[in-house]
Amino acid sequence: MKIDVDEIIYRAMTMADIPAIVSIEQEAFTSPWTAEAFTNELMNNMFARYMVMDLGGEIIGYGGMWVIIDEAHVTNIAVRADFRGQGLGNCLLSELQRTAVFFGAAKMTLEVRPSNEIAQQLYRKFGFKPSGVRPRYYSDNNEDALIMWAELDREQLKAGEQ
């Protein structure tokens, strides 16, 4: 389904969004987060910032991060399967970076599977560079995680809002 990205609303994730988010998690990941994990993030983690992509009242994607002092750590980012391939991951990551800057972050980090080349290509477009490995990070198959970092250019991100 082709969509107009100008119709997407980015907003803070709420407790009512969790069932839709868990559904997307299960589509996107081999070790999806549970409803309880998202509830804990929203209710108990003062560093957590989670947003959804809302298209006409339907959640089509989401992203989350922890913003601690001047660093943002991406925890999750996913788009519903039937909306992939339209550049929505670009839109979502861009919005996460703008939000991170708003909350004071100067750099952003994440972990990605070395086998997930599609995600790595997206991250590289946004300035992420490999900086290390977390051995046996993924519990489903003990795959390592590639650690990537990006500097957040406040001026460039502000210009993207106009």
155 is catalytic: no
Q: Which of 27, 95, 111, 143 is catalytic?
A: 111
- Residues 109, 43: Cα–Cα separation, whole Å: 23
41 is catalytic: no
- Residues 82, 67: Cα–Cα separation, whole Å: 30
Interior CA angle at 24 toward 17 and 91, to 5°? 85
Q: Which of 10, 50, 62, 123 is catalytic?
A: 123
The answer to whether 88 and 81 have CB atoms below 8 angstroms apart is no
Q: For residue 52, with 0-12 CB atoms within 10 Å meaning exposed, 13-18 middle and 19 or more buried, which class applies?
A: buried
Q: Which residues are catalytic?
A: 111, 123
